[in-house]
Amino acid sequence: MKKKRIVIGNWKMNPATLPEAKKIFSKIKQISSDVTGQLVICPPATYLHALVSSYKGKKIMFGSQDAYWQNNGSLTGYLSPTMAESVGAKYLIVGHSERRSVAGETPDIIAKKVLAGIEAQMTVILCTGEKVRDRNAEYLVTIKEDLRECLKKIDKRMMAHVMIAYEPVWAIGGREAMLPSDIHGMTIYIRKVLTELYDKQISDSISILYGGAVNIDNVEDIVKDGEIDGLLVGRDSLVPENIMYIVSVANGK
Q: Note the residues at the interface with ligand PGA (CB under 6 A).
A: 10, 167, 172-173, 211-214, 232-235
The set of residues, in sequence order, having a beta carbon less than 8 Å from that of 225 and lying 6+ positions away, is: 180, 181, 183, 184
Q: At closest approach, how far in Å is the CB of 56 from ligand PGA?
A: 28
Q: At closest approach, how far in Å is the CB of 250 from ligand PGA?
A: 14
Catalytic residue among 96, 105, 130, 227: 96
Question: Length of the chain in residues, anyone?
Answer: 253
The verdict on whether 167 is a catalytic residue reads yes
Q: Phi, psi at residue 33, to the nearest 5°?
A: -65, -20
Q: At closest approach, how far in Å is the CB of 74 from ligand PGA?
A: 31
In terms of CB distance, is 186 or 213 closer to ligand PGA? 213
The verdict on whether 161 is a catalytic residue reads no
The residue with its CB nearest to ligand PGA is: 234
In terms of CB distance, is 5 or 235 closer to ligand PGA? 235
Catalytic residue among 85, 105, 130, 167: 167
Which candidate, 60, 128, 58, 119, places its Cα nearest to that of 93? 128
In terms of CB distance, is 37 or 212 closer to ligand PGA? 212
The set of residues, in sequence order, having a beta carbon less than 8 Å from that of 85 and lying 6+ positions away, is: 120, 121, 122
Q: At closest approach, how far in Å is the CB of 124 from ligand PGA?
A: 15
The set of residues, in sequence order, having a beta carbon less than 8 Å from that of 67 and lying 6+ positions away, is: 79, 80, 81, 83, 84, 92, 113, 116, 117, 120
User: Which residues are identified as catalytic?
Assistant: 96, 167
